[in-house]
Amino acid sequence: MSEHPEEPLAGVKKVGFAFSTTAWLFVRLIGVVYFLAFVSCAPQITALIGEHGLLPASRFLNVLQVDLGDAKLLFAPSVFWFNSTDYFLQTVCWGGAILSLMVVAGILAGPALLCCYLLYLSIVSVGQDFMSFQWDWLLLEAGFLALFLARWNVFDRPFSKGTGTKERGQPPALMIWAARFVIFKLMIMSGLVKLTSGDTTWSSFTALNYHYLTQPLPTPLGWFAGHLPEWFQKISVLAMFFIELIAPLGIFCGRRWRFAAAALIASLQLLIAATGNYTFFNLLTIVLCVPLLDDACVLRFLPARLKSRVQVQENSSTPMPRAKKWIFSAIAVSLLTLSATRMVGLQVPILSSLVSPFGVSNGYGLFAVMTTARNEIIIEGSDDGLSWREYELPYKPGDLRSAPPIVAPFQPRLDWQLWFASLTNYSQEPWFGHLMFRLLSGSDDVLHLFSKVPFREHPPKFVRAKLYKYEFSSLADLFKTGAWWKRTYVSDYFPTASLDGPSS
Q: What H or E segment, with its residue span, contains residue 406?
A: none
Considering only residues 68 and 389, tell me which one the structure prediction assigns the higher pLDDT.
389
Specify the pLDDT at position 153: 79
Q: Where are the beta strands (DSSP E) in 118-188?
A: none
Q: What H or E segment, with its residue span, contains residue 471?
A: strand 462-472
Specify the pLDDT at position 456: 84
Dihedral (C-alpha) 363, 367, 369, 371: value to the nearest 10 degrees?
150
Considering only residues 166 and 186, tell me which one the structure prediction assigns the higher pLDDT.
186
Considering only residues 118 and 19, tell me which one the structure prediction assigns the higher pLDDT.
118
Whether the per-residue pLDDT at 12 is higher than 50: the answer is no
| Mean pLDDT to the nearest integer, 295-310 | 70
Is the CB of residue 449 less than 8 Å from the CB of residue 47? yes
Give the whole-number percent of the chain exceeding pLDDT 90: 69
Confidence of residue 8 (pLDDT cuts 50, 70, 90): very low
Amino acid at 26: F
Distance CA 18, CA 293 (A): 10
- For 392, the 3-state DSSP assignment is strand
| Mean pLDDT to the nearest integer, 158-181 | 66
Distance CA 498, CA 50 (A): 23
3-state helix, strand, coil in the chain (%, to 5): 55, 10, 35
This prediction has a pTM of: 0.90
Half-sphere exposure of 213 (CA within 13 A, CB side): 25
Specify the pLDDT at position 160: 43
Specify the pLDDT at position 166: 41
Is the peptide bond preceding residue 158 cis, with omega within 30 degrees of 0?
Answer: no
Confidence of residue 393 (pLDDT cuts 50, 70, 90): very high
Closest to 96 (Cα-Cα) out of 88, 84, 282, 358: 88
Distance CA 190, CA 38 (A): 26
Distance CA 437, CA 285 (A): 38
Confidence of residue 503 (pLDDT cuts 50, 70, 90): low
- What 324-327 contacts at long range (C-beta under 8 Å, 24+ apart), as own/partner pairs, is 325/172
Q: Is 479 exposed, middle or buried (0-12, 13-18, 19+ CB in 10 A)?
A: exposed
Distance CA 144, CA 138 (A): 10
Least confident span in 9-13, 204-208, 379-383: 9-13
Specify the pLDDT at position 318: 54
Q: How far is CA 27 from CA 64, 139, 299, in A?
A: 34, 12, 16
Distance CA 370, CA 156 (A): 45
Whether the per-residue pLDDT at 4 is higher than 70: the answer is no
Q: What H or E segment, with its residue span, contains residue 485?
A: strand 485-498
Specify the pLDDT at position 343: 80
Distance CA 357, CA 351 (A): 11
Specify the pLDDT at position 248: 96
Whether the per-residue pLDDT at 459 is higher than 70: the answer is yes
Is the CB of residue 243 less than 8 Å from the CB of residue 187? yes
Specify the pLDDT at position 164: 40
Distance CA 337, CA 335 (A): 5
Closest to 353 (Cα-Cα) out of 71, 11, 165: 71
List b or e across 286-319, with b for residues whose CB sees 16 or more CB atoms inside 10 angstroms.
bbbbbbbbbbbbbbeebeeeeeebbbbbeebbee
| Mean pLDDT to the nearest integer, 13-32 | 80
Whether the per-residue pLDDT at 224 is higher than 90: the answer is yes
Highest-confidence segment of 63-72, 81-90, 153-162: 81-90
Whether the per-residue pLDDT at 133 is higher than 90: the answer is yes
Whether the per-residue pLDDT at 294 is higher than 60: the answer is yes
pLDDT digits (tens, 9 = 90+) for 337-385: 888 888 877 666 666 677 888 989 888 888 889 999 999 999 999 999 8
Whether the per-residue pLDDT at 314 is higher than 60: the answer is no
Distance CA 67, CA 498 (A): 33
pLDDT digits (tens, 9 = 90+) for 410-455: 999 999 999 999 999 999 998 999 999 999 999 899 999 999 999 9
| Mean pLDDT to the nearest integer, 200-213 | 95
pLDDT digits (tens, 9 = 90+) for 84-129: 999 999 999 999 999 999 999 999 999 999 999 999 999 999 999 9
